[in-house]
Structure formats: structure tokens, C-alpha cells
Structure 1
Amino acid sequence: MTIRLRLFIFIPLLVLLMSFVSYFLFESSRSAQESYHLFMNRILLYKQVSRESKEVMQDLNRYVIQVSAESYPDLVFHLNSLHHLQDELYRLEKNETNAIAIGNYINLMGTFMEQAWNMAEDTETQEPKSKASAYLQADQLSRFISEEGQAMVDLELENYRPLYEKLMKITEDMNRLGVYLVITVALLSILFSLWLSSSISRPILQLVLTAKQISRGNLDTKAPELQTGNEIGILCRTFNHMIDNIQELMVKNLESLKKERMVKELELKMLQSQINPHFLFNTLNVIAKMAYIEGAEKTSDLTVSVSRLLRYNLQKLDHPVTLREEVFHAEEYMAIQKERFGDRIRFITEIDEEALGWWTPCLTLQPLLENAIVHGIEHLEEGAVLRLSIRRKEDRACIEVADNGAGMDPEIRDRLIRSAREDVQHPFSGKGKSSGLGTANVFKRLHLFYDGSQTIEIRSGIGEGTTVRLTFPSSARAEETEWRCHGV
């Protein structure tokens, strides 16, 4: 359950509980107020009837006895008021105790009002003696009304007393229950607040402690794995995932540093293998010119080829080159080997011009050709064939270096394949002659250069020759990207 959902559920729940308690207390108070209001209305009604009957008598005295015509509207007004009060008495809720008394009281009011109306209407025709007698009867009825009203008040008080005691007991119980409910809701609110704050603050505190451990360099620590679907659980899992990513990046950085160190070592070995190459390059140029002057054109051409190979090594080894440059360099190398072996080796090239636009590390083809000669066909007296094939296959460049020589042992072939990704001892260590870079070194440099997106295959068998197939990815096309070498 998410924290947001918890808040949406529990906070309205607490509000509802508080509202229920408030409504409960309000209903308890309202019930008591209604009972008290009903009782007071009945008392006030009796009092008002007594007061109106006295007002009627005063108006009758002025109108009938004192013969004041101005008091007639007041008399009519108070009689009508008394009539309305009689109607309210009819509508009062009655029980077995007060039903008869209220009925007699209403009849007494009716007799009084009838007597008063008769006196008001017959005041001009009645004799003074009759008027006085009628007035005395009406006054006596008014006193009866007042006395009966007081008796009705006493009766209502008597009837209301048990109800009042019961109401007070209920009110006391309700108040006590209300206090309990308020305390219960307050405790629930406190417990919920503690639970919610603890469920949020404790994991966050653990995250803070974990972050402090990471800031000190301790990446082996982990945030608590909360098996919940709320935001804190997601944050903990994301935090741990971030730690895993940091560890993976550190491993990759270490691998990258290892690769850079390996490249530097290769460069150092290469430099150590060069014995004053600039001096040698200048010396070869001098020898080539002297041979040409003396008429030894073949010796001059051979010296020029060696000079070009040396220039290529000096100027290109620390930069990527295109396959076109590698093919030109390989042809120069094979021209020298042709002079060495003569007709014993036949060099065949199958070059697709569309496949020469791929970037590759410098000295990729020459070590493969040299390896094929030294370990494959050098011992053959005749019929040796070395074939270099470069073609484009869809969006990749495919290179094959094949010979019909002695072949290689399956174990050595597997070690060569693994050497691209692992620190494997050179399979041909101590055998024959090589350029110092070697086939295994070429494979490793290709793996670093293409970041593992190249493919390397070796098909070979004892006495069946060897074919090395390389496939370069489309991302290394010189027409599409400006490749940057990182010391490969």
C-alpha cells in the first residue's frame, strides 16, 4: 500500500471517527434540548393562557363597565389570541395522566371566551345589573383558568420529573461515552501518526546511513529491501539498483584501465623492438638510391618496399587506418616475400572496393599473412597458395586470410580465439619468427578496437590449411563515422 493511499484512507477515517463522536454528542444534547423545549412550551402555554384571560377581563371592564368603545379592538385581539392558544392546547401531545385535565382546561377556556363574546355583543341591550352579574361570572372563570393553569403546570412538572431524571441519566451516560470515544479516537490518532511516521522515517534513516557508508567508499552495503509496494520500498530497491550500477561501472572502469595498461605495454614493447627506426629508415633510403644508381633496380625496388613498410609502421601504428591502406601495406609486404620465396608462393587477392572503407587498427593484415607464411606454408617447396579476400556482406566487411599449409592443432586454434577476450599466453611463443605483434595480439586489439562487436573465426585442420575470417561491424565504416582510436 502506497503512502499516498495510506493517507487517503486513514486520514479521512480519523476525520469520520471524530465527526461520529461530534455527531453523537450533538444528538445527545439535541435530544435533551428538545425534551426541555417541549416541556417549557407547555408551561409557557398555560402561563400565556392565564395572562390572556386577565387581559380579556381588563378589556371587558373598560368596554362593558366603563363603556369605553376604544377598548373594543383590544378585547377582540386578546379573545382571538386566547382562541389560538386554545387551538394549540388541542394539538398538545396527551397521555393518560393529563388528557382529562387538558380537556377540562380547554372547555373552561371555551366557556370563558363564550361568556366574554356574549358580554361584548350584548353590552348595549343588557341592563347594568345583568352586566355586573355576567362580568362577575367571567371574572370567576378567569380566576378558574389561572388556578387551573397553575394546576396544569404542577401536573406537567410532576409528569416531567421521571422523564427529566431519565433524560439526565441518559445525558450523563452519553457524556461519559463521549469522553471515552474522544480518548479512543485521540489514542488511535496518536498510534496511527507514530506508525505512519515510523514506516516513513525508519527506512529513510537507513537510506541515509547507507548513503554515508557509500560516501566513505563502502560499496558492499545495501539499503533494506522492503517487501512493500509503497514509495519507500521503491526508493530502497532503486537505491540498491543504483549501487549495483555503480559497482558495474567500477568493474568496467577497471577493465578499461586494464585495457589501457595493456595497450601501453604493447606500445612499450613495440618501441623497445624498434632499434633506432628513424636511422634505419634514412639508411634504407640511401641504400635504395645507391642501388638504383648502380643499376640494381630489383634491389632498389625491394629496399623501397622495406622503406615503405617501415614508414607505415612509424606513422600509422598509433592511429586507425582504412582497409584500403592495410591492403596496400599487405601488398608491399607480399612483394618482399615474393622476392624471398620466388615461385614457391602464389599470392592471390580478391578485393571488393566497396569493402575497403572500414576502419581497422594498424597492422591487422600483415601479422595474419606473416603467421600464414611462418607457420603454414614456409616449409612447402612448391604449390604454396596464400589468398587474401575482402568483400562486403550487407552492412559488414568480411576479411579472409587462407593458406593451404600445415594447418593448426584444435587446441591452439581455441586458444587463439580465446586470446581476444582473455589473458592467454601466446600459442606460438618461442616458435619461428614473427613481427612482434602476432596473431593473438591482432585478435586482442580487434576486440578492444570494436568493443567486442567484431567476429573472429578460424577454420583449420592438420594438413588441411588454415582460414582466418574476420567480420567488422557497420559502425566502423569510414563513410559514416570518424573513428577515434584510444591508444589501440
Structure 2
Amino acid sequence: MSIHKKMFIFIPLLALLLSFVSYFIFNSSRNVQETYSVMMDRLLLYKQVSRESKEVMRYLNRYVIQLDAESYPELERHVKGLRELRRNIGEMEKNVSNTLQVENYVNMMDTFLDQTWELLTSMELDSKTKAVAYLQAEQTSRYIAEDGQALVDLELEHYRPLYEDIMGSNKRINRIGVYLVFTVAILSVVISLWLSSSISGPIRRLVLTAKQISKGKWDTKAPNMHTGDEIGILCQTFNQMLDNIRDLMEKNVKSMEKDRLVKELELKTLQSQINPHFLFNTLNAVAKLAYLEGAEKTSDLTVSVSRLLRYNLQKLNHPVTLREEVEHAGEYMAIQKARFRERIRFETEIDEGALDQAVPCLTLQPILENALIHGVENMEEGALLMLRIASSGSRVLIEIKDNGAGMDAKTRTKLLHSWTEEVSAPFHSKAGSTGLGTANVFKRLHLFFDGGEQIDIESSLGGGTTVRFQLPVRTHSPGREEGHV
């Protein structure tokens, strides 16, 4: 449950509880007050009837006996007041327990009003008759006062147990009200503590976790809250953030370790180049010395080896043209011809218009080396290696052909698909190989031309082998970087 829902539910609930307690106390007090008001209204009504009847007799005495005409308006006013009180008692008569006494009381009031009206309307009566009628009305007035007091005593007697019940109920109500107030107060404190602990507790633990993390303790985690509120979501998000930071730190450490290893490898590479450069300079010195001593073939062979070494050192990581590859292949074959002499012939068929084609460095020489080692090396005579380069529209055709031992269909298929496997170990490597096998060449051509090349091998046992490349036209500009090969 979210914090918003908790506040929306429990705070109005507390307000409703307080309102219920207040309404209960108010309603109970109102019932007591209404009962007390009814009792007092009846008692006051009886008293008012006795007082009005006395006032009527007083002004009736002035008007009838003392013949004071000016007292008539007051007499009339009190008579009207008495009649109004009689109507009120008549309405009250339906809701009282002592109905017979009230009915007799009302009848006496009617008799008194009739007597009063007779005295007021029969002025032609003699004095003796008026005096008798006056005495009767006065006697009725005394009866009204006596019966009114009796009714007051009856009402008080009737309401005494009720009053005691009211007082007891009032005490119980007050006691219940106190209990309810304390209960609501305790509930308010409990709910407030629960709400505050459900909000401040996780936040406090989250703050402690943040302080631990600020001290470098990255293995610390925020408490897992499954309450479904905003604090729980915050804790889960905080833990996800910690996991992401740890992952980033691990990746950063790995990246730094990789950078360190790369620098070490670069240093080792630079150190490893010391010996090839020393060998390159030594070969140049040997070539010049052989030339000075008149050994021209030895000088030419040494120069070829030196150029081969220079090519491998300077251009292995950059694209080159087919022209450079052909020159490099010629140097390599010159060295091999010095070894095999007349046993091997190397022929070329080159289209000059295709020699500006860009290719990865060391594309031709490993194929020629593979053909030499696996194809024609064991032939005593008549061994032939042919390099053919031609331009065909939007593609450049390269063929390297030998008339050697050849291979079966299984070996041919395996060689064609060898570049999809690891190329760190060259296919059919032998001692004396450069280590850059056919699979390596195929893989680099595929990456260099983004899969736009076509590679095919034609071979049969004893029928020689032809390796054919069809490459998309891609010219090489010496002043422009073609990318890393």
C-alpha cells in the first residue's frame, strides 16, 4: 500500500472515530436534556395555570366586585392566557401517564373559564348572585391551584426514578465517553507510530546504507521492503543502482586491466621488433658485402630476404595494393627458386589495370607458400606455380594454381570452411611456414570486404589445386587510411 493511500485511509479514519465519539456524547446529552425539558415544561405549565387563575380572580374582583372598568383589558388578557394554557394542557394530556388527574384538571379549568365568562356576560344579575358566582369561581381557582400542586407532586414522583435513571445514564455516558476518548487517543498514537515507523524506519535504514556506501563498503545493500509503497520501490531502485554501479566498476576494472595488458603487449611488441630490425640491418650489410665480393646471386638473395622482412615489419596492419602483393610474392618466389632451383617454375599473368586493387597485407604469399609446401614441394621436376590477376567489370579475379598433389573433396571442403573456426592455429602448418595459413587469409578477406568476396578451391588428388578469389573493386589511395587489417 502506498504512503498516499495510508495517509488517505488512516487519517480520515481517526477523524471519523473522533466524530463518532463526539456524536455519541452529544446525542446522549441531547436525549437527557430533552427528557428533562419535557418534565420542566409540564411543571412550569401547571405553575403558570395556577398563577393565571389567580390573576384572573384578582382582576375579576376589581371588575365585578369593585366595579373598576379599567381593569377589564387586563382581565381579558389573563383570560386569553388561561385559555391558551388550557389548550396546551389538552395537547399534553395524550402523552402523560396520569391521564385521569390531568383530565379532571382540564375540566376544572373549563368550569373556571365558564364561571368567569358568566360573570363577565351577565351584568344584570344582582349583587348577591354575583357574589355567589364569584365565590364559586374563587373556589374553583383554589381547586385548580391545589390540583396543579398535586399534579406537580405526581410529575415529580413519576420522574424521580426516571431522573435517577437519567443521572445514572449520564454517568455511564460520561464514563463511556472517557473510555472512548482514551481509546481513540491510544489508537491515534498507535496509528501515528505505525505510519511514522513505516515511513521513517526504512528511510533511516536507507540513510545508514548510503553512509556505509560513502565509506567504500560496496557490498552493503538497502533493506528489501515488499510493502509495495514508495519506500519499498525506493529501496529496490537503490539496490538496482548499487548493482549497476558495481557492474560498471567491474567493467571499468576489467577495462583498465585490458588497457594495462595492451600496453604491456605494445611494449613487448616494440621489444620484439628490436631483433627483426637488427636482422634486417644485418641482412643489408651481408648483401652489400656479397656484392663487393662478387657474389651477385648471394647478394640478390639476401636483398630479397631483406625486402621480405621489411614488408612484413612495416605493412602487416595496413591495406596494400595488389601491385605490392605481387612484388612481395616475387621476392618470396625468388628465395624459393634459390632453394629449389630448376625444380620449380613460377609464372605470372598480370592485368596491369587490376593492380591498384586494395587487399589486406600478406594475401598472396601465404597461398603461394601453402601451394609450395603442400602441393609441389615433393616433386622432383616439372613443378609449376602460376599467379593470374585479371579485371572483370566490377570485380577483380585472382587465381593461384599449382600442378602438385592436390586434395580430396573432404579436405577441400574443410579448407573452404576453416576460416569460420579459430585461425590462431594455421591449417596444415609445417615447419618453415610463416604461420599465416589459408584460413587466416580467408578470414581477413571476409572482414576486409564485408562478406562481398567469393572464394573457391578447385582440386583433385594428383590433379593440382587452384585457389580462386573474386574481389569487389576497391582501390587504395596511399594518402588515405583504409582502416586496420
Query: TM-score scaled by structure 1?
Result: 0.66
Q: CA deviation at 1:243?
A: 1.0
Alignment check: 8 A CA contact 1:63 1:69 kept: yes
Cα pair 2:224 2:232 within 8 Å, conserved: yes
The aligned residue for residue 251 of structure 2 is: 252
Q: Is 1:190 the counterpart of 2:186 in the alignment? A: no
Superposed displacement of residue 44, structure 1:
0.9
CA distance in 2, matches of 1:55, 1:371: 146
1:12 corresponds in structure 2 to: 12
Residue of structure 1 equivalent to 2:475: none
CA contact (8 A) 2:308 2:332 kept: no
1:208 positional shift: 1.7
Offset of 1:143 from its aligned partner? 2.1
Alignment pair present for 1:365 and 2:357:
no
Does 1:340 pair with 2:332?
yes
User: Residues 328 and 365 of structure 2 are in contact (CA less than 8 Å); yes or no, is this contact kept in structure 1?
Assistant: no
1:60–1:15 distance in 2 versus 1, CA, 3 Å = same
Cα contact 1:119–1:134 (8 A) shared by 2: yes
5 Å matches for 1:278-297? Answer: none
Distance 1:136 1:366, change over 3 A: same
- Determine whether 1:225 maps to 2:224: yes
Q: What fraction of aligned residue pairs are identical, expressed as a percent? A: 45
Tell me which amino acid in the other structure corresponds to 2:35. S
Q: Deviations over 1:361-400 (max 9, x none)?
A: xxx92266665555676665445679999xx9xxxxxxx9
Runs (5+) with no aligned partner, structure 1: 285-297, 318-324, 357-363, 393-399, 447-452, 469-482
Q: 1:271 to 1:48 in 2, by over 3 A?
A: same
Q: Distance in 1 between matches of 2:229 and 2:468?
A: 59
Deviations 1:54-107 (A, max 9, x none): 222233233333334333333222222211211111121557851111111111
Matched pairs, number? 411
Distance 1:63 1:385, change over 3 A: farther
Compute the displacement of 1:219 (Å): 1.7
1:225 and 1:237 in contact (8 A); partners too: yes
**1:104 and 2:99 aligned:** no
Is this contact kept in 2: 1:109–1:145, CA < 8 A? yes
CA distance in 1, matches of 2:69, 2:432: 154
Mapped contact 1:222–1:240 kept (Cα < 8 A): yes
In structure 2, the residue matched to 1:33 is: 33
Alignment of 1:456-467 (within 5 A): none
Runs of at least 5 residues in structure 2 that lack an aligned partner in the other structure: 285-299, 335-345, 377-383, 470-480
Q: Which moved more, 1:147-156 or 1:166-175?
A: 166-175
Q: CA deviation at 1:246?
A: 0.7
Displacement after TM superposition at 1:432 (Å) = 4.0
CA distance in 2, matches of 1:266, 1:97: 117
Deviation at 1:192, TM superposition (A): 1.8
The one-letter code of the counterpart of 2:169 is I
Q: For residue 235 of structure 2, what is the aligned residue in structure 1? A: 236
In structure 2, the residue matched to 1:202 is 201
Structure 1: distance between partners of 2:265 and 2:352: 30
The CA deviation at 1:331 is: 4.8
Residues 181 and 388 from structure 1, CA distance in 2 versus in 1: closer, same or farther, beyond 3 angstroms? farther
Distance 1:465 1:310, change over 3 A: closer
Tell me if the contact between 1:387 and 1:402 (Cα under 8 Å) persists in the aligned partners.
yes
2:129 match: 130
Within 5 Å, give how 1:3-402 maps onto structure 2. 3-92=3-92, 97-123=97-123, 125-273=124-272, 326=319, 328-329=320-321, 331-341=323-333, 343=346, 365-366=360-361, 380-381=375-376, 382-383=384-385
Q: After TM superposition, give the deviation of residue 6 of structure 1 in Å.
A: 2.0
Aligned mates of 1:243, 1:467 — CA distance in 2: 56
Give the direction of change, closer, same or farther, for the CA distance of 1:135–1:248 in structure 2 (3 Å limit).
same
Shift of 1:215: 1.4
Q: Distance in 1 between matches of 2:66 and 2:83?
A: 25
SS in structure 1 of the partner of residue 361 of structure 2: helix
Kindly indicate whether the alpha-carbon contact (under 8 Å) linking 2:54 and 2:141 is maintained by their aligned counterparts in 1. Answer: yes
Name which one, 1 or 2, has greater alpha-carbon Rg.
Answer: 2
Q: CA RMSD in A?
A: 5.3
Asked if the contact 2:329/2:365 (under 8 Å) is kept, the reply is no
